[in-house]
Amino acid sequence: MLVHIPNVLSQDEVRHLRQRLETAEWTDGRVTAGEQSAKAKLNLQIPQDSPECRELGDIILRALGRNPIFNSAALPLRVYPPLFNRYDTGMHFHAHVDNAIRPIPGAGFRIRTDVSSTLFLTPAEEYDGGELVIQDTYGNQTVKLPAGDMVLYPATSLHSVNQITRGSRWASFFWTQSMVRDDTKRALLHEFDNSIIETRKVIPDTHPAVLGLTATYNNLLRQWAEL
């Protein structure tokens, strides 16, 4: 399931993140890649233990907490602290699959990466290339979103970032361990939740149909969730 979430960050928040990133230290992005992915990766990142990474990551985590689409689609149990990358002209990331398990620095535990997320921080018109390409059962899905928008997709997906031919593309990326690890079940629950939302717009919450749909959704989540 690929989900586009608009306006995760406000334009004021995007500007703040950009200003802080302008003065941050950028290092070789291969430090967070696995052995195989490192051979395919050419970009820059903010060090994970830097003050900028922690501060800006907290802003994103707060935004995710108040975003109903993210919570419906990802059903988050744990979210990996957001990281930040940068692709300048000539940089790219060839096709790869994200690591299945990642330790959270300083937390003493690991998460399973069920859902991958890319939050765009550069206006699309400011760079050429840099599209996120996600391979799924319907073929290649090419994603290039406005600054402040985010895409979610299964971490099991083979994906890449096209080479930048003009400008620079900045983004935040992170992973979510979902309460429901199976992508097909997550997609069904997300569609079910959307149907409940649309139904509540036309009939009262006390209507038996709404109560029945809500009960069924929660009972499915109760059956499939792993906590």
Q: Are residues 32 and 59 in the same domain?
A: yes
* Same-domain pairing of 201 and 157: no
Find the distance separating the first CA and the last CA of the chain, reported in whole Å. 22
- Which CATH number belongs to the domain containing residue 149 in this structure? 2.60.120.620
Query: Is residue 218 domain-shared with residue 151, that is, in the same domain?
Result: no
- What per-residue confidence (pLDDT) applies to 36? 60
The answer to whether the annotation marks 169 as part of a ligand binding site is: yes
Q: Are residues 187 and 174 in the same domain?
A: no
Q: Which of 141, 163, 178 is the last residue of a domain?
A: 178
| Number of structural domains found in the chain | 2
Is residue 88 annotated as involved in ligand binding? no
Domain encompassing residue 116: 3-178
pLDDT digit string (tens) for the chain, length 227 residues: 999 999 999 999 999 999 999 999 999 987 766 566 667 889 999 999 999 999 999 999 999 999 999 999 999 999 999 999 999 999 999 999 999 999 998 888 999 999 999 999 999 999 999 999 999 888 899 999 999 999 999 999 999 999 999 999 999 999 999 999 999 999 999 999 999 999 999 999 999 999 999 999 999 999 999 99
Which secondary-structure segment (H or E) carries 176?
Answer: strand 169-178
**Nearest 10 degrees: Cα torsion 36, 39, 40, 41:** 110
Residues 95 and 204 grouped into a single domain: no
* Domain shared by 116 and 219, yes or no: no
Please tell me whether residues 158 and 67 are part of one structural domain. Answer: yes
CB atoms within 10 A of CB 220: 15
Q: Judge whether 190 is annotated as a binding position.
A: no
Given this model, what pLDDT does residue 33 score?
60
- Whether residue 96 is annotated as binding a ligand: the answer is yes
Residues 88 and 194 in one domain: no
pLDDT at 61: 98
